[in-house]
Amino acid sequence: MKLTKDKFKEDYQRLLTELYSLDIKDSEVSEQYFTLGNLIRTYASNDWKNTNESYLKKGEKQIYYFSMEFLLGRMLKSNLLNLDILEVVQKGLQEFGIHLENLIEFEVDPGLGNGGLGRLAACFMDSMATCAIPGHGNGIRYKYGLFKQKFVNGYQMEIPEHWLRNGNIWEVRRLNKAVTVRFYGNVWLENSSGRLVPRYENEEAVLAVPYDTPIIGYNEQTVNTLRLWSAEMHPQDESHEYGAFLKQQSQIENISEVLYPDDSYYDGRLLRLKQEYFFVSAGIQSIIRRFKKKDLPISHLSEEVAIHINDTHPALCVPELMRILLDDEGMDWESAWDLTKKVLSYTNHTIMSEALEKWPIDMMSTLLPRIHQIICEIDQRYAADMRYRYDDHMIERTRIIEGGHIKMAHLAIIGSHSINGVAKLHTDILKEKVLHDFYLIFPSKFNNKTNGITQRRWLLLSNEPLRQFIDSKIGSNWEVNPTDLTNLKAFQNDEDTLFKLAQIKKLNKQRFADYVKRTMNLTLNPDAIFDVQVKRLHAYKRQLLNLLHILSLYFKLKENPNAYIYPRVFIFGAKAAPSYMYAKQIIKLINSVAHMINHDHHIGDKLKIVFVENYSVSLAERIIPAADVSEQISLASKEASGTGNMKLMLNGAVTVATLDGANVEIRDQVGPDNIIIFGLTDKEVYQYYHDGSYHAYDYYIHNPILHRVLNALIDGTIPGIEIEGQDIFDSLVKYGDEYFVLRDFEDYRLAQEKVDQIYRDTLRWQKMALLNIAGAGIFSSDYTVLQYAKEIWDVSAKSTQD
């Protein structure tokens, strides 16, 4: 938008006084922040209104992205950037003596997601708005987001995160758009003028109230909507006796109370199933209501609406859309089923079996009796349809209801027209292994959409020095056309460029070091290699492999203080699910080793470990620009894609990686000389599963370095640990080492020696860094959402020029 500094100053001054009856000079940060947030909203409001109006036109297909999580991060700065008023506002505030940076830091980081899946949804929202795709988010407005992590004596403690305490300037509550969602009760079908209609009794009605947040595109025009639902008591129930009222109220409000803190893991709680149906039903009802404003017959739904299911959490979209088409719209089964499949599409994000949702039949039939009936019918019709084409085993393996459970992935695959994986390797594994049966039955439903990240948040906003430097080299067109970053390759042998790149990295490292000094009172040497592993704590991601290698360096230095080791700072950030004991033990172990090494005066600056508390989007924005090395070391086949890998390469980190997830595509982009690959391949892992020939114990016995390191877990070397050392030792040496940590140890150690070698040659290292930045453009989520739009949703992005 066009905004002059003087106009901004005038608006800002007036609004602050209107809101708080204060002069700017007497205002505090909170007042300054809320004023700016409100002003931004007014600046975006016309575009928001116009965007919404244009979306009501016939033939303007709408995309609804259903996700249990949206991990947006702070929005003040990204909204300013996307409105193209960041500089004007910064300068205007400066003249009032206000530092924009302080207002940015004042905003709470809304943690409405766990990790990759929720952050991906947030990147997609940004990219859809920027690419002018009519994309709406649909989710839950949790009162408590992901817990705050604190370390007490090295152990993770969880503290509730009441992110709404100071209000939320970005959202609009729309009570007039509320809908009713029904749970429990009895249902039966009655004949009413020739068709069966459901009758209900004793059901529990919950009011779903939407809160809309504008998603501002980086295109001067589009403002999309993220709609998050909050559960409230139905007005009709407020007349109950007071005690009963309070009890029921808290039961109902429970539904949108808290985000489940599990990542890639499912734990079959009734309340979770309630949450899933709650936002699915509310979302679909409001979609149908909006569709009806177009005055088209319901059979046109699939021309006007696409609904995307982010993992299986919203898979109840299948029976819920069927329910509405059958019961409310009076469609026949066949037509309703065709339409449902045309509207829905599904993304799979994991092959880990513990993450696959399966709900007990009784739970479903009690909580959602009508939905249960519909699922049973879908299942029976599926089995009947397949009977003449496949054998009984095939049908048993792929049907929805089996062994007393409802398999949500099967429901999602059978009920939609598209299923995609999130990286080439992941999609291949789905087709060949995990979902092979379905691939044989529905080959044309399967497709790949490699994940992406928004370069606006992950470079323009979080790494301003690098952004300016890139602009000075190749201009700024890459900001909207990120593969233009390949133009940087022209400078790969230009010493000036490479030294400047090293300087920028050092600046970012110093900035992070200042933060660590301030918050942890730990001094870091910005000339050391900053080696970063930030992601959820999970056994398959193998933070433990990283730690074992660090211990090997430590013992090497203890034995020979002059050993040839380039100084390194190992940086970890990770939350563990509160009930995931093994992951929490690993956190304790890392913290204990950190304490031991950081306080060892003989080690000094040569090795440091920083485990940042409460890793979050805003911390990622600080850490990633400061990374020299990106650790992407999951066991091959286990990480569906990864997206931190893309953020780190975009910021010039060199990746140490297994051939897992999108790491494979990163290697293809930068070439084998600019990434450090090690470890088993997915094929080798599957071969081990097949022949059962992996014996972790042998690696413990035969590799002396590994032997020394593992013994340290159990011989009292590491002060402060209790049972953790023994438990972790046993998991590796005695209980089979499920994620092949010992198998990959030696190869990893050698890969890390390579890092140490190459880093000594600044020009060589910075050339690798440059080529990583140059190759990262393809991983922009702008391209990813455009592929979804074209190949799955069947909607073209409008040109933003007209």
**Residues classed as catalytic:** 349, 535-536, 541, 643, 647
CB of 634 to ligand Z57, least distance (A): 8
Tokens 């949790």 correspond to: 142
Tokens at residue 651, please? 């910021």
CB of 312 to ligand Z57, least distance (A): 8
Residues 6+ apart with CB under 8 A from 129: 82, 135, 215, 216, 217, 218, 219, 222, 223, 224
User: What count of Cα atoms within 13 Å lies in the side-chain half-sphere of residue 682?
Assistant: 20
CB of 310 to ligand Z57, least distance (A): 9
The yes or no reply on residue 640 touching ligand Z57 (CB under 6 A) is yes
Distance of CA 171 to the CA centre of its chain: 21
Tokens at residue 665, please? 């595509």
Beta-bridge mates of residue 631: 656
Task: Pick between residue 324 and residue 635 the one whose CB is nearest to ligand Z57.
Answer: 635
Closest of 312, 317, 295 to residue 304, by C-alpha: 295
CB of 665 to ligand Z57, least distance (A): 12
Dist CA 201 CA 388 (whole Å): 40
Beta-bridge mates of residue 533: 572
Task: Pick between residue 369 and residue 661 the one whose CB is nearest to ligand Z57.
Answer: 661
Residue type, 352: M
Tokens at residue 329, please? 């719209």
Stretch that binds ligand Z57, among 174-182, 314-322, 347-355, 455-463 (CB under 6 A): 347-355
Task: Pick between residue 260 and residue 699 the one whose CB is nearest to ligand Z57.
Answer: 260
The yes or no reply on residue 349 touching ligand Z57 (CB under 6 A) is yes
Continuous segment of H or E residues that includes residue 231: strand 223-233
What mask, x for binding ligand Z57 by CB under 6 A, covers residues 443 to 462? --------x-----------
**Residue ranges in 407-436 that form contacts with ligand Z57 under rule CB under 6 A:** 422
CB of 64 to ligand Z57, least distance (A): 18
Q: How big is the site for ligand Z57, counted in residues (CB under 6 A)?
A: 19
Residue type, 381: R
Question: Starting from the edge strand earliest in sequence, which strands make up the sheet with 358-360, in order?
Answer: 358-360, 405-407, 401-402
CB 749 within 8 A of CB 552: yes
Task: Pick between residue 120 and residue 411 the one whose CB is nearest to ligand Z57.
Answer: 120
Tokens at residue 83, please? 């409105």
The yes or no reply on residue 639 touching ligand Z57 (CB under 6 A) is yes
**Residue ranges in 88-127 that form contacts with ligand Z57 under rule CB under 6 A:** 114-117, 120
The yes or no reply on residue 357 touching ligand Z57 (CB under 6 A) is no
**Residue ranges in 654-673 that form contacts with ligand Z57 under rule CB under 6 A:** 661
Task: Pick between residue 359 and residue 759 the one whose CB is nearest to ligand Z57.
Answer: 359
Handedness of CA 731, 733, 735, 738 (dihedral sign): positive
The yes or no reply on residue 573 touching ligand Z57 (CB under 6 A) is no
CB 150 within 8 A of CB 333: no
Burial call 466-486: b when 16+ CB within 10 Å, e when fewer? bbebbeebbeeebbbebbbbb
Tokens at residue 652, please? 């010039």
What is the longest distance spanned by two Cα atoms in the chain? 91
Task: Pick between residue 609 and residue 640 the one whose CB is nearest to ligand Z57.
Answer: 640
Dist CA 583 CA 433 (whole Å): 27
Handedness of CA 121, 124, 129, 132 (dihedral sign): negative
What mask, x for binding ligand Z57 by CB under 6 A, covers residues 246 to 285? -----------------xx---------------------
CB atoms within 10 A of CB 93: 22
Task: Pick between residue 508 and residue 546 the one whose CB is nearest to ligand Z57.
Answer: 546
Stretch that binds ligand Z57, among 71-79, 172-180, 474-482, 637-645 (CB under 6 A): 637-645
CB 459 within 8 A of CB 81: no
Dist CA 670 CA 664 (whole Å): 10
The yes or no reply on residue 67 touching ligand Z57 (CB under 6 A) is no
Task: Pick between residue 212 and residue 311 the one whose CB is nearest to ligand Z57.
Answer: 311
Dist CA 502 CA 762 (whole Å): 8
CB of 266 to ligand Z57, least distance (A): 7
Residue nearest to ligand Z57 (CB): 116
Q: Which of 67, 127, 463, 641 binds ligand Z57 (CB under 6 A)?
A: 641
What mask, x for binding ligand Z57 by CB under 6 A, covers residues 32 to 61? ------------------------------
Stretch that binds ligand Z57, among 3-11, 206-214, 270-278, 634-642 (CB under 6 A): 634-642
| Rounded (10°) angle between helices 704-712 and 543-559 | 100
CB of 640 to ligand Z57, least distance (A): 4
Task: Pick between residue 352 and residue 363 the one whose CB is nearest to ligand Z57.
Answer: 352
CB of 473 to ligand Z57, least distance (A): 30
Closest of 439, 431, 424, 433 to residue 685, by C-alpha: 433
CB of 81 to ligand Z57, least distance (A): 24
Q: 151 by DSSP, 3-state: which? A: strand
CB of 729 to ligand Z57, least distance (A): 27
Q: Which of 350, 752, 766, 781 binds ligand Z57 (CB under 6 A)?
A: 350
**Residue ranges in 303-322 that form contacts with ligand Z57 under rule CB under 6 A:** 311
Stretch that binds ligand Z57, among 484-492, 552-560, 636-644, 738-746 (CB under 6 A): 636-644
Dist CA 352 CA 26 (whole Å): 56
Task: Pick between residue 349 and residue 568 the one whose CB is nearest to ligand Z57.
Answer: 349
> Which stretches of the chain bind ligand Z57, using CB under 6 A?
114-117, 120, 263-264, 311, 349-350, 355, 422, 451, 639-643, 661
